[in-house]
Chains A and B, each alone.
Chain A
Amino acid sequence: EVQLVESGGGLVQPGRSLKLSCAASGFTFSNYYMAWVRQAPKKGLEWVATISTSGSRTYYPDSVKGRFTISRDNAKSSLYLQMNSLKSEDTATYYCARRRDYYSGLYYFDYWGQGVMVTVSS
């Protein structure tokens, strides 16, 4: 059974850093792109970052580029999100998601974690 379990959330002051983790199990982690998607309280979904199977390629929207870093440890089947210079607008539930690439350039997110809450406030 595929499982994605996020951890590392909590309350952090503006300008500080936080690192999220996602422990994967039930599949060959190194075969899949992985992503982070967030959801601000009572708001919609926002894609945050994607990482390739080897970790050599990473992608971000402008809203977090330069502040967030996605990484992975395939030996540990773990995904990470290092968040620096946090702002109040980064307050959200952060989901780890597995990306299934089924054809050239085509993909979907087929498994999601339960999410971890990050609150940025003084």
Chain B
Amino acid sequence: DIQMTQSPSVLSASVGDRVTLSCKASQNINKNLDWYQQKLGEAPKLLIYFTNNLQTGIPSRFSGSGSGTDYTLTISSLQPEDVATYYCYQYNSGNTFGAGTKLELK
């Protein structure tokens, strides 16, 4: 089974900061990776699909990149409403979510 390791597990940042979240797969997942945002008490929400494609309605400050085993989600200028837990998800082989990165305001 493919393991997905997200880092850091908790990230504190200030409004306006550029934030980078990491997701590392245990083997090549061929960019078959999506990112989901989950705010407290809510269902997950799709942000990015197939590594770098922004879902309709998602602010352009969110972007994704990566290949092979290493992937990142970047928020170019952190906003208060971005406080949430972010999960990567691979479906190249099986279906695996990462453990999540909890993003907090400093």
Which residues of A69-101 have CB atoms within 8 Å of chain B's CB atoms? 95
Chain A min CB distance to B38 (Å)? 8
Q: How far is the CB of B64 from chain A (nearest CB, A)?
A: 12
Query: Which residue of chain A is the closest to B56 with respect to CB atoms?
Result: A110
Task: Judge if A27 is at the interface, Cβ distance under 8 Å.
Answer: no
B55 within 8 Å of A by Cβ?
yes
What number of B residues sit within 8 Å (CB to CB) of A?
A: 21
Contact string, A8-45, partner B, CB cutoff 8 A, digits 1/0?
Answer: 00000000000000000000000000000100000011
Give the Cβ gap from A43 to chain B, nearest Cβ, in Å: 8
Q: Does B97 lie at the interface of the complex (its beta carbon under 8 Å from any beta carbon of A)?
A: yes
Given A95-B44, A115-B43, does the pair A50, B87 have CB atoms closer than 8 Å?
no
A63 CA to B38 CA, complexed, in Å? 23
B43 contacts A44, CB within 8 Å?
A: no
Are A45 and B50 in touch, CB under 8 angstroms? no
Tell me which residues across on chain A come within 8 A of B38, comparing CB atoms: 45
Assembly CA distance A112 to B45 (angstroms): 8
CB <8 Å contact, A61 and B91: no
**Inter-chain contact A107/B91, CB cutoff 8 Å:** yes
Cα–Cα distance between A110 and B91 once the two chains are bound (Å): 15
A31 CA / B55 CA spacing, docked (Å): 20
Q: List 20 A-B contacts (CB under 8 A).
A: A44-B98, A44-B100, A45-B36, A45-B38, A45-B89, A45-B97, A46-B97, A47-B97, A50-B95, A59-B95, A61-B95, A95-B44, A105-B32, A107-B91, A108-B55, A109-B36, A110-B46, A110-B55, A112-B45, A113-B43
